[in-house]
A and B are shown apart, each in its own frame.
Chain A
Amino acid sequence: MGDVVIILPFLLPIAGAAVGMLLRRWHRLRAGWSLVVLALACAVTATVFWQVAQSGQARTFQMGGWPSPFGITIVADALSVTMALMSQVVFVFGFVYALGAKDKAVHYETFHPLFLMLAAGLTGGMLTGDIFNLFVMIELVVISGTVLTAISDDRFGTEAAYKYFLISLIASFTLLFGIGSLYVSYGTLNMADLAQRISANPEQPLLPIALILLSITFMIKSAAVPFHFWQPDFHTASPTPVSAMLSSVVVKLGVYGFMRLTTLLAPSATWIKDLLIVTGIVGVIFGGLGALGTHNVKRMFAYSTLAQVGFIYIGVGWGTSLSLAAAVLFTINHAIIKSAMLMLSGYLASRAPVKTASFSVVRGVGRYAPLSGVLFFLGGMALAGLPPSNGFISKWALFWSGVVAATSGAIQDRWTYWLPLGLVGISSVITLVYVFRALMRIWWEPFEPPSPEEKVKPRGDSLLAPAGLVTLCVLLGLLGQPLTDWTQRVSEWMTQPGKYVQAVLQAEETHRRNFSVQP
């Protein structure tokens, strides 16, 4: 069986959502209950994280007590538990923002249960060790994310949700096709078992097709460039607490999938890494230019997510120990920064005369909200990668891993490091330009409403959550050493997939020893 504790990070939110549905008449009670459940799940995840970090051993749980390759395995190894903790922490902040938000959507009866389901699906997708269970968890994320957007205050919420849902259904079908292809080739759905069988017999004819289908799915999930068309719409139209979650941690599910795909399932398929580098570069450039050309703060940050996910793709694509550590670090830091920035844009929209984050409306609104300006400035520095912020550390780690790989690798491969490095440098400058253009427009220029009766609203959403996240950014920038060391250890785990496989299959042996029927 193993540890029951490690299924609690996603079991608690699911149970909490079920109870939350029963409490739909009592808004305050439901909100308080959901916060308690989410905080409890976060605490449990932190406990599991601490134990995994202390012992250096992966922990597994077999659902229903079925032995390892047959039942659904839940695995908490260094990578998955780090990702799960990141998601839970950001979700707690997002929920705190939702409690203080003025949107009508957050007072909707099913908002809190759906928010919990989003957290559950995301954490479950990261902790699961079974590829079909991953599909189920992805569906949970998709459906709850879509419903949360469809109930948005934005009148185009339903349209954005429709676009997203359509492409997500297609992604689900490609994922199912990939799962079927893997199953027919290798006869297992367990990721550890699959990794072992793929490395033993990589010549199966359906394997490349399955990998292509899985790559397409993960690219749609993380909104990588050829499949990104839904993303700016979707992240602009959803309610602020939700879009802060979608654009920061939910896109990381696809990134996590690629981390598993390139290090565990098919480390020998180098073409996936090449694909990641190419799409990463295109994403970095395209996202930066897209963010420059927008007229809406939220949409600007949605495009910026495209660019930042591109950075992570490049790190995963290089695949050296250092660059994987940098990619994990980048993933964590980007989740914190981007959720803070989207919450701040949502705050501005809630202060603006008309509730929208478009530049023509929020221009000059910042003059009445100086605190949010300070937070936006610090967060913008982190996003652009200026010291002293965590964004600087993650960008520097990525650059440094590329430089180390370029100076130590083979001569003919060096351009695969230098070319991305150059483009990434240019893109960082673009980030700086659009973040500070937004800062100038909102906090520097005077507020000139089209008619004199339009005034800045005296109160907006609560600034507690973005303030907490920005503080976390600065703290991680000043005292980032433990996190950086930890990501090094995560990348050590990732470069030794045998450790993951052993942890899951050892659980099977222990299980047989404990539960075998004596004749």
Chain B
Amino acid sequence: MDILRAAAIAALFGIGVYQLLRRNVIRVVIGLNIISNAVNLFLLSTGAYDGVAEAYASAIGQRSDALPQALILTAIVISMGGFAFTLSMLYVISSRYRTADNDEVKGLTH
């Protein structure tokens, strides 16, 4: 299970970075979103440190560390606001620059 989770984090991170480096602005934001999910999954897995059960423990009597889950909730809320704001900025940019290409958004060059 640990390996699966580590692989999932790695895969999400890889996909996210790949999308982040694409030229399309929408893909960049989606890449960031995927990276944020990788980070959240990583935080979730930190709840299993030092012999405490994992967050998905189901047996009675086991308990998982609740703090990372609170951290994830905060991170999710903050990143949700951030992405909504990024998308609204992209709307302005795409209508002002008439492009969805990151390299074409270059008004501030001097």
Spell out A's residues near B (CB within 8 Å). Answer: 132, 135-136, 139, 143, 146-147, 150, 155-156, 158-162, 165-166, 169-170, 172-173, 176-177, 179-181, 183-185, 187, 189, 233, 236-237, 294-296, 299, 358
Contact = CB atoms under 8 A, between A and B. Distances in A.
B90 interface: yes
B75 interface: yes
Contacts of B85: 143, 146-147, 165
A156 B107 contact: yes
A480 to B, nearest CB: 38
A158 B92 contact: yes
A116 to B, nearest CB: 18
Contact of B108 (A159, A181, A189): A159
A132 B71 contact: yes
A454 B68 CA distance: 61
Interface residues of B, number: 33
Contacts of A146: 85
B49 A187 contact: yes
B36 A161 contact: no
B86 interface: yes
Interface of B: 20, 28, 32, 35-36, 39, 42-43, 45-46, 49-50, 67-68, 71, 74-75, 78-79, 81-82, 85-86, 89-90, 92-93, 96-97, 105, 107-108, 110
B42 A180 contact: yes
B86 A176 contact: no
* Secondary structure call for the B interface: helix
B45 to A, nearest CB: 8
Contact of A162 (B50, B71, B74, B93): B93
Contacts, number: 90
A-B pairs with the 5 shortest C-beta distances? A184-B46, A156-B107, A233-B108, A184-B49, A180-B46
Nearest to A162: B89
Given A156-B108, A165-B82, A166-B28, A183 B93 contact: no
A159 B107 contact: yes
A313 B16 CA distance: 32
A141 to B, nearest CB: 12
Given A160-B108, A180-B39, A187-B50, A169 B82 contact: yes
Given A136-B78, A143-B82, A176 B50 contact: no
A146 B93 CA distance: 14
Given A158-B93, A166-B32, A187-B50, A180 B43 contact: yes
A242 to B, nearest CB: 16
B63 to A, nearest CB: 15
B108 A236 contact: yes
